[in-house]
Amino acid sequence: MIALRIGLAALFLMIAVTVQTSVLTNIAVAGVTCDLTLIVVIALALSRGSEWGAIAGFVGGLMLDIVPPADHTAGRWALSLAIAGYIAGLIRRETSGSPVGPLGVALTVVLGTAVSFFLYSATGSLLHDPSVDWGEFGVRLGIAAGYDVVGAIVVIPLVMWIMGRVQPARERRRVAP
């Protein structure tokens, strides 16, 4: 069961990275694409918890770092998404008495976008990457957050439903009494 879950999570992340780099960029809003990988990481964190969020964020971010056309220092997206995933997992635990509502999910996605984008830009500044432009930060963050919420409406229920299907029976009993 654990192997199946890990395999599914890896599959989701790979699909997300592929679609984000080659399909979604064609429907970008002002150049900003939907962070599908971040959304999948948040969905995994919401359905499995902080540890899963952090590890899935690390793996997904690492893929974004090394899959072409990435040309920045590897590890920046990995760090950003790992921390965003960890925080999303914490939010889920705080409300574990009931499943996270739609508004909660949307706020989690906005928070995750803000945290990951800020960390990515900040690490870029620390590494003296000349391409980081703080003047554009606010606008791009706003567009990205809105776009991500739209993407999350479709993706998060799907991922959480599938991950819920492969939960072990004893855990399912405990969550849904």
Partner 1 sequence: MLKDLGTPTTRSAFRSAGETPLRSAGTPRDVRRRRTVLVLVILACFTLIVLDARRSAGSPVEPLREAAAGVFGPLESTATSARQPVDNLRDRFAEMDRLKAENEKLKKDNEDLTRELTTSDYARNRAQELDKLLKVAPAYTMTPARVIGIGGAQAFSHTVTIDAGTADGVRTDMTVLNGTGLVGRVVRTTQGTATVLLIGDRNSTVGGRLNASMALGFVSGRGEVGGTLDYKLIDPKARPKVGDRIVTWGSSGNAPYVPGVPIGVVTSVTANEGSLGSTATVKPYVDPTRIDTVGVVTGPPARPPRTQITGKGN
Which spans of this chain sit near partner 1 (rule: CB under 8 A)?
Answer: 14, 17-23, 25-28, 30-33, 35, 49-51, 54-55, 57-58, 61-63, 65-79, 82-83, 86, 89-90, 93-94, 96-97, 117, 120-121, 123-124, 127, 129-133, 136, 140, 144, 174-175, 177
Provide, rounded to whole angstroms, the least separation between the CB of residue 167 and partner 1.
Answer: 12
Omega before residue 69 within 30° of 0, cis: yes
| Pairwise CA distance, residues 110 & 103, whole Å | 11
Q: Tokens for 1, please give them.
A: 């069961």
Residue 77 or 159: the one with the smaller Cβ distance to partner 1 is 77
Q: Please give the biggest Cα pair distance in the chain.
A: 54
Residue 3 or 135: the one with the smaller Cβ distance to partner 1 is 135
Could you say which DSSP state residue 97 is in? Answer: T
Residue 33 or 108: the one with the smaller Cβ distance to partner 1 is 33
Query: Among candidates 35, 33, 37, 34, which has minimal Cα distance to 10?
Result: 37
Provide, rounded to whole angstroms, the least separation between the CB of residue 11 and partner 1.
Answer: 12
Query: Among candidates 69, 75, 73, which has minimal Cα distance to 128?
Result: 73
Provide, rounded to whole angstroms, the least separation between the CB of residue 88 and partner 1.
Answer: 12
Q: Are 33 and 25 in contact (CB under 8 A)?
A: yes
Residue 38 or 105: the one with the smaller Cβ distance to partner 1 is 38
Provide, rounded to whole angstroms, the least separation between the CB of residue 57 and partner 1.
Answer: 8
